[in-house]
A and B are shown apart, each in its own frame.
Chain A
């Protein structure tokens, strides 16, 4: 007696489904550490313990180095540069900061000045350059006006090989909106250079991945800008999920990370260079891009651009994948992002916005 062929196929299918549930323990190697002024999680897939540990400590060392080199006011290459920028005359730029400055120059221009790393003084006025101690009240309107009238821009700095001169004494560099992107990019580049093919580097919620997580892609949730994660149901606080493809960075800027409250109003850390105040039309922006630094700067610039102007800036910065959540809670997506992201079913219909 023989069973019909379809029945046999069905039984095989059912058994293969059962087997999926009995995979061996995953070969995930996940390490979380405090470095670069944030919590960095490095996840590697299918790699020997020893090689994983070596790679992770090398990345940690690089990240500490970059943190010190690019820190705007601690003694170090960038801190020293900021001291010299306040004086007149030429000086020699430190090699560890020059490539980041050149990259920023291009992105500042593409963003129509919304990403402006020359506004270090503004960040200082607001107290956001300190890692821990925030100011408890906003700076005075006069102080803000006076600084904005001097219009500090990266283009005020002339670079001739390593000689630097500066026309504008109000220029101070703060790479806070690009440094993490560049750091994550360099970490991924390093991991690739030592032959690691499947990895994710997550620096405080901004991340970049290569390869896959075993037999599936890297999968991430995007935090809801207004719902907290500390309740029983973690689904509530995740507004969307997406799979990260090989060599993609996912960067998010939100108004809920660094802020202080004064007079019943919340003042967050993403400052609009046009007004000198926190940008107030957006609650969160997530972008996907193949370059970490570009993704980082773009998430900030699009956040500041707001729900009206962001498509123009996205186009000029070369960003195809954007999710912007405005202060009314409406989700705006580019068509490319709509094809990649899966919104929580609790969410209302998104607005699909083509780039001009």
Chain B
């Protein structure tokens, strides 16, 4: 094996190791959150601030809290409370919905590691 062969082999090994590493890297953080009422965009916010937004829905107001890079449903007038239990989300591609109230949020910007999450 010549020096160039070894170099090439080394690079290939690095790529293989690197691809495994990158495949398991977390998605990068999102930069903004889009709030939807029904299926239309209600408002869009930069994630890097602290604010709460009251969004009127079919049952009442859902309250979305934005806190320096992350967002959550602080409260929502539904019984099941799935959206509130979902907690904080911050990765690009994350979505949380309060279906009974017809409100959902999507986090955008940054790079999503997966095209979808199966659950």
Which A residues are in CB contact (< 8 Å) with B115? 43, 200, 213, 218-220
Which A residues are in CB contact (< 8 Å) with B114? 219-221, 238, 241
CB within 8 Å: A-B pair count: 117
Whole-angstrom distance from the CB of A176 to the nearest CB of chain B?
15
Q: Is A180 on the interface with B (CB-CB < 8 A)?
A: no
Q: Is B97 on the interface with A (CB-CB < 8 A)?
A: yes
Q: A10, A39, A252: which contacts B104 (Cβ < 8 A)?
A: A39
Please state if A205 and B4 are interface contacts (CB–CB under 8 Å).
Answer: no
Once A222-B118, A223-B119 are accepted as A-B contacts, the answer to whether A32 and B8 lie under 8 Å apart by CB is no
Whole-angstrom distance from the CB of A236 to the nearest CB of chain B?
9
Binds A, one of B48-56, B60-68, B79-87: B79-87
Interface residues of B in 91-107 (CB under 8 A from A): 91, 94-95, 97, 99-100, 102, 104, 106
Closest B-chain residue to A254, C-beta based?
A: B119
| A186-B33 Cα distance, complex, nearest whole Å | 31
| A254-B117 Cα distance, complex, nearest whole Å | 13
Closest B-chain residue to A251, C-beta based?
A: B118
Q: A60, A220, A233, A256: which contacts B117 (Cβ < 8 A)?
A: A220
| A100-B94 Cα distance, complex, nearest whole Å | 32
Once A230-B89, A252-B118 are accepted as A-B contacts, the answer to whether A10 and B80 lie under 8 Å apart by CB is no
Please state if B118 and A221 are interface contacts (CB–CB under 8 Å).
Answer: yes
Q: A33, A35, A229: which contacts B89 (Cβ < 8 A)?
A: A229
Whole-angstrom distance from the CB of B41 to the nearest CB of chain A?
11
Please state if B116 and A222 are interface contacts (CB–CB under 8 Å).
Answer: no
Which A residues are in CB contact (< 8 Å) with B8? 6, 10, 13
Whole-angstrom distance from the CB of B6 to the nearest CB of chain A?
11
> Could you list 11 A-B pairs, sorted by A, with CB under 8 Å?
A6-B4, A32-B95, A131-B99, A131-B100, A206-B118, A218-B115, A221-B118, A229-B89, A241-B114, A254-B119, A256-B119
User: Which residues from chain B sit less than 8 Å from chain A, CB to CB?
Assistant: 2, 4-5, 7-8, 11, 15, 23-27, 36, 38-39, 72, 78-80, 86-91, 94-95, 97, 99-100, 102, 104, 106, 113-119
